[in-house]
Amino acid sequence: MRESLGRWYRAHGRDLPWRHTQDPYAIWVSEVMLQQTQVATVIPYFQRWMQALPRIPDLAAAPQQRVLKLWEGLGYYRRALNLHKAAQILMQEQQGTFPTDLETVLALPGIGRTTAGGILSAAFNQPVPILDGNVKRVLARLVALQHPPAQCLPLLWQLSEQVLDPVQPRRFNQALMDLGATVCRPKQPRCGECPWQAECSAYNRGQHHQLPMSVPRPSRPHKQIAVAIVLRGKEILIDQRLETSMLSGLWEFPGGKIEPGETAAECVVREVKEEIGIDIEVVTELATIEHAYTHFTITLIAFICRYLSGEARPLQCTEVRWVRPAELSKFPFPGANQKLFPYLHAWLAEQRGALDSESSRDP
């Protein structure tokens, strides 16, 4: 099985940028980016990141805002914050080098068993197993597992260790991931092209379309959020989310959850007062957008608002700033806020157009 997989990999393995290096830092960055994100999305982020922060000391010394900006759009921002923190730990404890033993790697923030296995096998050719989503699916089909993989993790880890090639673990783990990603796909597996077809229990029992079994997902709760784009002259108010909150470190337009019995417009006035300590009034509704997070979905209603009085203070956020519209792109924003940018820039352009035509009518 190892030989047939190796032959298949030589002919059909994916050519990915992080496979051209054995630099553990580059492989670590790619593994963390790939934790929740598709390969095609990761490639440009990985290339940009490696250009901007090519070594562990560069990452450790970078300001958090720069790290988050490089991650902007990839989601699950905790991953970027953990990479940053881990690089600082490596500077303090390992002279800026990446450790080679599993225990030390697993002690770093944001690195679980499969990420550690991916790094140690790819960078140092160590025989450490992996168990990402693709590998779970291949192994579950291989043994025709009659339970959802999430309920059988010890068994799947044991299998991953058993099949691993002790002589060429780097090549084997990469081949296994590629097999899951391109042949043993979640839907419509291409069993006719699979090097393990003869050994595959799911295929031999005709269960390759039904397995692996899945656990039904609970439906995601929905939240109604209102945000204020507060204008003061030519500046816009933004605030940085609290360290303890989801999406911590990112910037956003202030706002929050619409309470029962409250309109969206009333909500933004209240939220801005509570969060920033200033009084505002709503000028107009700008846009309503839908956005999905892993565990909930939101409807986000945005208002253009006018600053009235008070001094902006970070009462329920880390920092507040008044910025010019052109400066917004310098700050890392969550995806839902980014969806508002085109509406905001169109609205501002319209206002400028109206002012221009008014002034051209002046005698």
Q: Does residue number 301 form part of the binding site for ligand SF4 (CB under 6 A)?
A: no
Q: Does residue number 145 form part of the binding site for ligand SF4 (CB under 6 A)?
A: no
Q: Which is nearer to ligand SF4, 116 or 183 (CB)?
A: 183
Q: Tell me the two tokens of residue 187.
A: 């839907």
Q: Does residue number 172 form part of the binding site for ligand SF4 (CB under 6 A)?
A: no
For residue 152, CA distances in Å to 145, 205, 216, 268, 274 come to: 9, 20, 16, 47, 47
What's the min distance (Å) between Cβ of 138 and ligand SF4?
5
Answer for the pair 236, 230: CB distance below 8 angstroms, yes or no: yes
Q: Tell me the two tokens of residue 97.
A: 């080098």
What's the min distance (Å) between Cβ of 143 and ligand SF4?
10
On the 0-12 / 13-18 / 19+ scale of CB atoms within 10 A, 109 is middle
Q: Does residue number 135 form part of the binding site for ligand SF4 (CB under 6 A)?
A: no
Stretch that binds ligand SF4, among 45-53, 75-83, 136-144, 243-251 (CB under 6 A): 136-144
Q: Does residue number 183 form part of the binding site for ligand SF4 (CB under 6 A)?
A: yes
| CA 160/CA 134 separation, integer angstroms | 12
Q: Which of 31, 72, 252, 275 is catalytic?
A: 31
What's the min distance (Å) between Cβ of 146 and ligand SF4?
15
Of 8, 45, 49, 203, the one binding ligand SF4 by CB under 6 A? 203
Of 202, 229, 267, 336, the one binding ligand SF4 by CB under 6 A? 202
Q: Does residue number 21 form part of the binding site for ligand SF4 (CB under 6 A)?
A: no
Closest by CA to 160, choosing from 125, 133, 197, is 133
| CA 70/CA 47 separation, integer angstroms | 10
Q: Does residue number 9 form part of the binding site for ligand SF4 (CB under 6 A)?
A: no
Q: Does residue number 67 form part of the binding site for ligand SF4 (CB under 6 A)?
A: no
Closest by CA to 268, choosing from 308, 325, 225, is 225
Q: Which is nearer to ligand SF4, 183 or 286 (CB)?
A: 183
Stretch that binds ligand SF4, among 144-152, 200-208, 217-225, 350-358 (CB under 6 A): 200-208
Q: Is 31 a catalytic residue?
A: yes
Q: Does residue number 142 form part of the binding site for ligand SF4 (CB under 6 A)?
A: yes
Of 84, 170, 208, 241, the one binding ligand SF4 by CB under 6 A? 208
Site of tokens 């800026």:
96
| CA 233/CA 362 separation, integer angstroms | 22
| CA 350/CA 341 separation, integer angstroms | 14
Q: Which is nearer to ligand SF4, 194 or 344 (CB)?
A: 194
The contact pattern for ligand SF4, residues 78-117, with x = CB under 6 A and - = no contact, is: ----------------------------------------
Q: Which is nearer to ligand SF4, 183 or 278 (CB)?
A: 183
| CA 62/CA 53 separation, integer angstroms | 8
| CA 351/CA 280 separation, integer angstroms | 19
Q: Does residue number 189 form part of the binding site for ligand SF4 (CB under 6 A)?
A: yes
Q: Which is nearer to ligand SF4, 172 or 196 (CB)?
A: 196
Answer for the pair 277, 313: CB distance below 8 angstroms, yes or no: yes
Q: Which is nearer to ligand SF4, 39 or 191 (CB)?
A: 191
Of 91, 106, 107, 191, the one binding ligand SF4 by CB under 6 A? 191
Rounded to 5 degrees, what are φ and ψ at 55?
-135, 165
> What's the CA angle centered on 130, arms 56 and 119, to 5 degrees?
15
Of 84, 141, 170, 171, the one binding ligand SF4 by CB under 6 A? 141
| CA 191/CA 321 separation, integer angstroms | 56
Q: In 191-284, which ranges are continuous DSSP H helix? A: 201-204, 264-276
Q: At 222, is the secondary structure helix, strand, or coil?
A: strand
Kindly determine how many residues on this chain lie close enough to bind ligand SF4 according to the rule CB under 6 A: 14
Nearest 10 degrees: CA dihedral of 167, 46, 88, 250?
Answer: -140
Summarize as ranges the residues that interact with ligand SF4 (CB under 6 A): 138, 141-142, 183-184, 189, 191, 194, 196-197, 200, 202-203, 208
Residues that are catalytic: 31
